[in-house]
Amino acid sequence: MGLFSRDTSRDPALTRAFAQYAAQHGLTHDGHFPDVRMETTLDGVRVYFRQREEEDVTTNGDGAETVVREWRAEAWVEEPAWLGDLSVDEEDLVQRAAKFFGAQDITVGVPAFDKVFVVKCSDEARARRLLTPKACEAMLSCWGSNRRVRIGRGRVWYRALSMIEDPAGADVMLRALTWVVASLGR
């Protein structure tokens, strides 16, 4: 999977490569590289892919603003109603501080997963039923230094924190996401 970050103009050769890849694999394709959007159904699961530039503005102590533009690629599954209010996200500094002051999350009994992710759900038994050991393994395999996977607001997300140049990289993301969704218990 060719992942990288760069500011690029619309590249006709890569636009054709993504369009050709989409046509060969039955994906709906819209956009020009690097702004690519695709959707398809894999193993009975409707999945979406998009790549776009995001802008972050930070302000230093003197009030000076810095604008950082970065490319992100993401794949997601929308509205699986059976997820309910399940939320699974990477543990961050805020969540660690909340735990320090007594906030609780749900542990699912997979130590590597419980160490990386924070699980919230109004129905603890449902969360454990959905987050099977196989689903935890699938989510851990998607998680990495420049990749994030999460569940929330009725969606399952898989995000690369850089641009994907190779259309096969989008396919890898879509298939990995489909594996996560298929691994979730019902």
Higher pLDDT, 95 or 27: 27
Residue 38 near residue 46, CB atoms below 8 Å: no
Q: Which amino acid does the sequence have at 184? A: L
Tokens of 98: 């909340």
pLDDT score for 94: 66
What's the whole-number average pLDDT of the chain?
A: 79
DSSP structure class, residue 114: H
Is the predicted pLDDT of residue 165 greater than 90, yes or no?
A: no
Tokens of 13: 């050769």
Q: What is the pTM of this model?
A: 0.74
DSSP one-letter string for 48-91: EEEEEEEEEEEE-TTS-EEEEEEEEEEEEEE--GGGTT-EEEE-
User: Starting at the edge strand that comes first in sequence, how are the strands of the sheet with 35-42 ordered?
Assistant: 28-32, 35-42, 45-59, 65-78, 155-160, 147-152, 87-90, 117-120
Is the predicted pLDDT of residue 142 greater than 80, yes or no?
A: yes
Closest CA to 123 of 153, 80, 87: 87
Q: Which residues contact 76 (CB under 8 A, 6 or more apart)?
A: 47, 48, 155, 156, 157, 158, 177
* Beta bridge partners of residue 36, listed in sequence order: 31
Least confident of 8-17, 110-119, 135-144, 164-173: 8-17
- Residues in the chain, overall count: 186
Percent of the chain with pLDDT over 70: 83
pLDDT score for 166: 79
Provide the CA 82 distance to its chain's centre, in angstroms. 19
DSSP one-letter string for 10-50: --HHHHHHHHHHHHHTT-EEEEETTEEEEEEEETTEEEEEE
pLDDT band at 9, cuts 50/70/90?
A: very low
Is the predicted pLDDT of residue 179 greater than 80, yes or no?
A: yes
Is the predicted pLDDT of residue 87 greater than 80, yes or no?
A: yes
